[in-house]
Amino acid sequence: MILSKKTKRDGFTLFELMIALMVLGGIMALLYPMIQNYRISAELRTTKMALSQLKNAISIYKGDIGEYPNKLQDLVRKPADPKAAAKWVSAYVDESHIDKEELQYRRTPGGKHPYELTHTSEYSEEPISVWQK
């Protein structure tokens, strides 16, 4: 009587593992650009929302004090002028919102708008303005 040896096969072969890794790599290569575009889009929306919140804080400051701030730090610190200091309620924004190198603010009394507030982003060719829709 001839006995045949049966081997029990557990696990995967190297070839099967390589095929599985290639399939996963292909899926990741297809998904990565979509994820990156979504991340950039979310970053730009977040920047526009932050600019909108600063615009609101500047409007409230103008309503309380009677003039636009000369610099963004005026939204955080009480004015030195006693007349303006009497009207100042409290900090209009947190200091962490205005201490960003990418953020630029300047008053433009004779311009189309009373001030310009922009944010430069690595994801946008032009600075993002608070007046953009």
Q: What are phi and psi of 117, to 5 degrees?
A: -130, 115
- pLDDT of residue 7 exceeding 70, the answer is no
- 4 or 33: which carries more pLDDT confidence? 33
- pTM of the predicted model, to two decimals? 0.73
In this structure, is residue 70 part of a structural domain?
yes
Residue with tokens 């804080």: 57
User: How confident is the prediction for the chain on average, in pLDDT?
Assistant: 87
In this structure, is residue 28 part of a structural domain?
no
Return left, alpha or beta for 94; rule: phi > 0 is left, psi -120 to 50 is alpha, else beta.
Answer: beta
pLDDT of residue 12: 85
The total number of structural domains in the chain stands at: 1
In this structure, is residue 95 part of a structural domain?
yes
- pLDDT of residue 21 exceeding 80, the answer is yes
Average pLDDT over residues 120-133: 85
If 0-12 CB within 10 Å is exposed, 13-18 middle and 19+ buried, where does residue 3 land? exposed
pLDDT of residue 1: 57
- Owning domain of residue 73: 47-133
- pLDDT of residue 80 exceeding 80, the answer is yes
Of 80, 71, 116, 79, give the one whose Cα is nearest residue 98: 71
Going from the C-alpha of 67 to that of each of 19, 49, 54, 98, 124, the distances in angstroms are: 68, 23, 15, 19, 31
Longest dimension (CA), the chain: 112
- 76 or 101: which carries more pLDDT confidence? 76
In this structure, is residue 83 part of a structural domain?
yes
**CATH number (domain holding residue 53):** 3.30.700.10
In this structure, is residue 128 part of a structural domain?
yes
